[in-house]
Structure 1
Amino acid sequence: MTTHRLTVAQALVRFLAVQYTERDGVRHRLVDACWGIFGHGNVAGIGQALVEQGYGPDAPLPFHQGRSEQAMVHAATAFARQNDRLSAQAVTTSIGPGATNLVTGAALATVNRLPVLLLPGDTFAGRPADPVLQQLEHPGAGDVSVNDALRPVSRWFDRVHRPEALVPAALAAMRALADPVRTGAVTLALPQDVQAEAYDWPAAFFAERVWPVPRPAPDATALSRVADAVRTARRPLLVAGGGVHHSRAEEALRELADATGIPVASTQAGKGSLRHDHPCDVGGIGHTGTAVADDLARDADLVIGVGTRWTDFTTASGTLFTRPGVRFATLSLSPDDAHKMAGLPLVADARAGLAALVAALSGHRVDDAYRAEYTAAKAAWERATAAVLRPADPAARPTQPQVLGALEEVVGDTDVVINAAGSLPGDLHRFWHARSPRQYHVEYGYSCMGYEIPAAIGVALAVPGRPVWALVGDGTYLMNPTELVTAVQEGVPLKLLIVDNHGYASIGGLSEQTGAERFGTAYRYRAPDGSYTGAPLPVDLAANAASLGLRVITAATWGELRSALAEARAEPRPVCVYVETDPAPSGPPPQAWWDVPVAGTSSRAAAREARAEYERRAAGRRHRL
């Protein structure tokens, strides 16, 4: 048998360079590149292996240098999402704080079911000294390391204690990455002495390997039941989730909408499944949804979910779908998701399932009166919100929705808009007009502050040449701006839009609604009573972004902002647009509830009033049986 003598790290790098996925006859690199920050736990192992294979852009496994371990995972995760989970990236770190810094990013990837390969170093398998630097001494378990913190946030976890264990561990890791139902963060913990150990590897381990990503068709009986439910429904509503995008099922969804006239609402992950101006598109649904989508949801007699997990924002914490006898049907690759809401499960690939539904519903259309109703409601919503997105006076300081209105006037169909946290996801879901399937990139499964900037790098690597916008508030920017240095180093022309409202505006509003009186949510000096109600802090975010290497354009008015955004879009290098917004609330309030528990007793009037409102809202919750 032919063998190759390599270290464990060298073997792993060579193995990763020849793994592929294949769907619809098209191959994709399964592990496109490796992000890394080096310390003693991986520098002499994977670090040396990457040097050994060559480290330029044409290397078998290209390398990207990061500044923050968490941010590297975000960049890799966004890359995978933009590639519809068919291609992923790896992230390597040292043992110790480098490894534990991966946990937040890993949780985001797993919650959103997006593949990322984590390769943290680990403490010595051979235990030449005990303890060693950064070793966690657990009094009841000698084999526990800090990497075990990654177990609950990984879809697959293994620790390679011996060289020969790499073969089954690496194959299992690839299976998990390529499986659209199981995928998420996949962790191979690599003891630093094992990484550097030489071993004779079978040549077959380094042969090209293709991991098929099939499109399972729906069961005929289950399909018939769902089609019968659609045919008998008077007020059906379809809810498009992220699975529509992952399956590249947008065209199949459009065909179903065209054929049947069923209105289509979207989750945060599913927005853009239909272009905003399609007659059947009624916008976002749930707590951050449009009035037309939420009103349709309240009176729907059949709700068809496609590729959605039915999270609390989508269901308004179980209070949205209130029509007596409402039924649910869910098309999903995941049997667990398909059986949620006590509905009719249709376990299949989204594109295959939608195509089958089009055929099964041949000749069926919803009543003309129903189509006329939601068409008129959509037009009314658009008229009511148009003024929210553009001020009467272009010389005025913009509100946050008006910032989005200015951006909409500048972007093209190919631009990608990225956000994750604060009040921006709500405004984007409610107001943004998605023009193409992958324009809208809002991470709201984990809603992780600090995702946007590294995600913009990952997306730009996935779709070079497309303008990529990272939208952040001041709170998010201060949490994780360091990957701007990476964008400058790599020449990634991301467009950063900083919206400064001097604090955590989203949580400030929620704090007020729940009786916590905006405590600790503003960026201000302390007042004499100890509260954070003094003057605003003299933080200059524009100067900070410039100090990290970006060109910065500052706008004071809506008119200046629109010009600045147009200038930034044409900029061939990383650029920042900075704007302070009018903090006064603007636009319609949330059209549906979200459950955030309120203090059951309090000496303060604000909390007592909030509790009364909470109990009134919570009484509308329904468990689907």
Structure 2
Amino acid sequence: MADVYGRLTGKAGVCLSTLGPGATNLMTGVADANLDSSPLVAITGQVGTDRMHIESHQYLDLVAMFAPVTKWNKQIVRPSITPEVVRKAFKKAQAEEPGAVHIDLPENIAAMPVKGEPLRPDNNEKTYTSFAIIRAAAAAVSQATNPIILVGNGAIRAQASDAVTQFATQMNIPVVNTFMGKGVIPYTHPLALWSVGLQQRDFINCGFDNTDLVIAIGYDLIEFSPKKWNPEGSIPIIHVGLNKAEIDSSYIPLVEVVGDISNSLTEIAKLADRDLKPNPYAISLKANIRADYEQYANDNGFPVKPQKLIHDLREVMGPDDVVISDVGAHKIWMARHYHCHSPNTCLISNGFAAMGIAIPGALAAKLVYPNRKVVAVTGDGGFMMNCQELETALRVGTAFVTLIFHDGGYGLIGWKQENHFGEGKSSFIEFGNPDFVKLAESMGLKGYRVNASEDFIPILKEALAQDVPAIIDCPVDYRENIRLTQKADKLSCMSQEST
């Protein structure tokens, strides 16, 4: 919940736990926030400092444990330093690139009186890049014949969506977003080539094969490894972001434009001189992508194909409504097929890819946006990890829908096994489930089961209208997983000349 709160608001979400197992149970959420650049402050209890030098009940060195999964962490060793530790924690968590921090509070220190007031926050002034760098970037944009924009989560954090859309439109450059960059440019925009990030080839990889310049805007390498789209390190890159580029042999920028993203794009556009004729290759690529998406609109097969389920979900959800995707085979389909009008309307655990995020994440989203529709999209495996949080949702009055892609197994692991060993060859991935409708009803929730493809949209609309959390149990046809892999294996890209 704190992770998703931080993503949606830009303010650090705060979570706390007791010592020992409470702290270790906190670590997955903390690690997820840190790798997905969500501002988060975690506070853990700890045994007293008078017990740390000996074997002691529930004592673990939590500062050492949290060090690899946080930007910064400290133990409060005397009451008087509390204001400084807390102020530094929030400053570190929210500074670009955001992430998780941890404060460890021993019980004997917590019991001591403390004097002092909270320290006031700093004023974060914007920084701007130099004219020489802007001029170099503009020259590279002007010389490129087939550039492509790769936009990531950093553009969302910088609130640069309008600037990216304006820049792409003015320069007539197609835009690809990472899983975490969805909605930076509306998916209905004619230059939007939708999402990249699968670990296998897809239509959009053809765009990278035929580009002579990638303009990476707010792109964090962890979102989609550059080795997937620039394996030889031969594509020229302009890096536009609030921080310098991470070091990677496949990501060595020609120009690094470090500073306020919106300002940088505006200034580059002023100096760039581009032929504004539409790029025929990008147009043909968009046509293929859209045709692949729309071919499932009228598919009435049952169990429901994941593409059809997501197409219909998109039809029902409004432009500002929010979906939270859990991790599993459905995540791959959500990442590929759920497209966004605006930022932060489809949240995906990407860097750490932690199962179980959807339900608590949806709870947080509904608290932040009580007037928006919110749907948690999860597999049955992820649902069973955190379904107890629906009691919390009911208790605090947050009504959202949990959509279960039901296949009775760990679909993503099965997919990987079949890719490696051959179709039909998977092991130890199946499990039993409770009756999800009865489970919902036993908790005081609304429960629905999809029995035909055409039933899903009316069920979803009814579930979203409820004043209590609702569960939709939908059998899904994951034979489509291997078909997607087979399609990717056969994908060949036309050269720009042959378009």
* TM-score for both structures, normalised by structure 2: 0.91
Indicate which of 267, 277, 282 corresponds to 2:193: 282
Q: Residue 185 of structure 1: CA displacement?
A: 1.1
Mark the CA change 1:592 to 1:179 in structure 2 (over 3 Å): closer, same or farther.
farther
Determine if contact 1:406/1:562 at 8 Å carries over to the other structure.
yes
Asked if structure 2 preserves the Cα contact closer than 8 Å seen for 1:282 and 1:290, the reply is no
Q: Structure 1 residues 573 and 289 mapped into 2: Cα distance closer, same or farther (>3 Å)? A: farther
Match of 1:425 among 325, 331, 356: 331
Any idea what SS the aligned residue of 2:91 has?
Answer: helix
CA offset at residue 211 of structure 1? 3.2
**1:377 aligns to 2:285 (yes or no):** yes
Q: Is the 8 Å Cα contact of residues 237 and 302 (structure 1) preserved in structure 2? A: yes
| Cα distance, 1:581 vs structure 2 | 1.5
1:105 aligns with 2:5: no
Q: Secondary structure at the match of 2:149?
A: strand
CA distance in 2, matches of 1:576, 1:357: 48
What is the one-letter code of the residue matched to 1:96?
A: G
Q: Superposition pairs for residues 159-178 of structure 1, below 5 Å?
A: 159-178=75-94
Q: Is the 8 A contact 1:332 1:346 kept in 2?
A: yes
Query: 1:107-135 CA deviation, whole Å, 9 max, x = no partner?
Result: 11111111111110111023399544212
Match of 2:398 among 492, 497, 500: 492
The one-letter code matched in structure 2 to 1:568 is A
Contact 2:154 2:220 in 1 (8 A): no
Report if aligned partners of 2:293, 2:307 keep a CA contact under 8 Å in 1: no
Q: Matches of residues 581-592 of structure 1 in structure 2 within 5 Å?
A: 581-585=476-480, 588-589=484-485
Q: Please, which moves more after superposition, 325-334 or 121-130?
A: 121-130
1:548 Cα deviation from its structure 2 partner: 3.2
What does 1:234-383 correspond to in 2, within 5 Å? Answer: 234-287=145-198, 291-311=202-222, 313-315=224-226, 318-321=227-230, 325-337=234-246, 341-343=251-253, 344-361=255-272, 363-368=273-278, 370=279, 372-383=280-291
Instruction: Write the mapping of 1:107-256 to structure 2, written as runs, cut at 5 A.
Output: 107-127=31-51, 130-136=54-60, 145-181=61-97, 183-199=98-114, 201-202=115-116, 205-206=117-118, 209-256=120-167
* Alpha-carbon distance, 1:422 to partner: 1.0
**TM-fit CA distance, 1:217:** 1.4
Structure 1 residue identity aligned to 2:347: H
> Could you list the runs of 5+ residues in structure 1 that have no partner in the other structure?
1-74, 137-144, 524-536, 594-612, 614-625
Equivalent of 1:546, from 427, 436, 441? 441
* 1:462 lines up with 2:368 in the alignment: yes
- 1:582, distance to aligned residue in structure 2 (A): 2.2
- For residues 559 and 227 of structure 1, the distance between their equivalents in structure 2, rounded to whole angstroms, comes to 51
In structure 2, what is the Cα distance between the partners aligned to 1:289 and 1:354? 31
Q: Secondary structure at the match of 1:417?
A: strand
Secondary structure at 2:473's aligned position in 1?
A: strand
Question: Structure 1: how far apart are the matches of 2:51 and 2:367?
Answer: 40
Quick check: 1:289–1:591 contact (8 Å CA) kept in 2? Answer: no
Paired residues of 2:182 and 2:339 also in contact (CA < 8 A): no
Are 1:110 and 1:185, in contact at CA under 8 Å, matched by a contact in 2? yes
- Aligned-residue CA RMSD (Å): 2.5
Deviation (angstroms), 1:342:
0.9
Q: Which residue of 2 aligns with 1:22?
A: none
Structure 2 residues not aligned, in runs of 5+: 491-499
The structure-2 alpha-carbon separation of the partners of 1:198 and 1:379, relative to structure 1 and needing over 3 Å to count, comes to same
Amino acid at match of 2:177: S
1:195 is displaced (CA, Å) by 0.5
Distance 1:92 1:322 in 2: 42
Match of 1:438 among 329, 340, 344: 344
8 Å contact from structure 2 (residues 83, 118) kept in 1: no
- 2:494 maps to which residue? none
Identical pairs, percent: 24
Deviation string 1:483-507 (CA, Å, 9 cap, x unpaired) is 1111011001121111101111112
Q: Which has the higher helix share?
A: 2
Q: Is the 8 A contact 2:326 2:376 kept in 1?
A: no
C-alpha contact (below 8 Å) 1:284/1:290 kept by paired residues: no
* Counterpart-to-counterpart distance in 2, 1:436 and 1:127: 51
Is the contact between residue 157 and residue 186 of structure 1 (CA under 8 Å) also seen in structure 2? yes
State how far apart, in whole Å, the 2-side matches of 1:256 and 1:590 are: 36
**Displacement of 1:590:** 7.8
- Is the contact made by 1:267 and 1:314 (CA closer than 8 Å) also made in structure 2? no
Task: Report what 2:493 is aligned to.
Answer: none
Deviations 1:221-253 (A, max 9, x none): 222222111111111010010011111111001
Amino acid at match of 2:134: L
TM-aligned CA deviation for residue 312 of structure 1: 7.3
Confirm whether residue 82 of structure 1 aligns to residue 82 of structure 2.
no
2:497 alignment partner in structure 1: none
**In 2: Cα distance, 1:451 partner to 1:238 partner:** 30
What SS does the corresponding residue of 2:284 show, helix, strand or coil?
helix
Segment of structure 1 superposing worse, 431-440 or 582-591: 582-591
What letter is aligned with 1:95?
L
Contact 2:201 2:488 in 1 (8 A): no
How much does 1:379 deviate?
Answer: 2.0
**1:390 Cα deviation from its structure 2 partner:** 3.4
Please say if residues 437 and 447 of structure 2, whose CA atoms lie closer than 8 Å, have aligned partners that are also in contact.
Answer: yes
**Aligned partners of 2:398, 2:388: CA distance in 1, in Å?**
14
Report the alpha carbon displacement of residue 338 of structure 1 after superposing the two structures with TM.
8.1
2:428 corresponds to 1:520: yes
The alignment status of 1:413 with 2:319, answered yes or no, reads yes
**Partner Cα separation in structure 2 for residue 281 and residue 348 of structure 1:** 25
Q: Would the alpha carbon gap of residues 440 and 575 (structure 1) be closer, same or farther in structure 2, given more than 3 Å must change?
A: same
- SS of aligned partner of 2:15: strand
Residue 528 of structure 1 is matched in structure 2 by none
Q: Does 1:564 find its partner at 2:459?
A: yes
Change (3 A) 1:581 1:219: same
Contact 2:187 2:339 in 1 (8 A): yes
Q: Is contact 1:243–1:307 with CA below 8 Å preserved after alignment?
A: yes
In the other structure, the counterpart of 1:579 is 474
Contact 2:47 2:106 in 1 (8 A): yes
Using the alignment, how far apart are the partners of 1:390 and 1:456 within structure 2?
29
Question: Partner amino acid for 2:110?
Answer: Q
With the length of structure 1 as denominator, give the TM-score of the two structures. 0.73
The verdict on how the C-alpha distance between 1:432 and 1:135 changes in structure 2, with shifts beyond 3 A counting, is closer
Q: Across the two proteins, how many residue pairs are aligned to each other?
A: 485
The residue identity in structure 1 corresponding to 2:44 is P
| Aligned-residue offset at 1:397 | 3.0
Of structures 1 and 2, the larger Rg is shown by 1
The superposition leaves residues 358-399 of structure 1 with CA deviations (integer Å, 9 ceiling, x where unpaired) of 2232x524543x2x33123212321233122431x37x4311
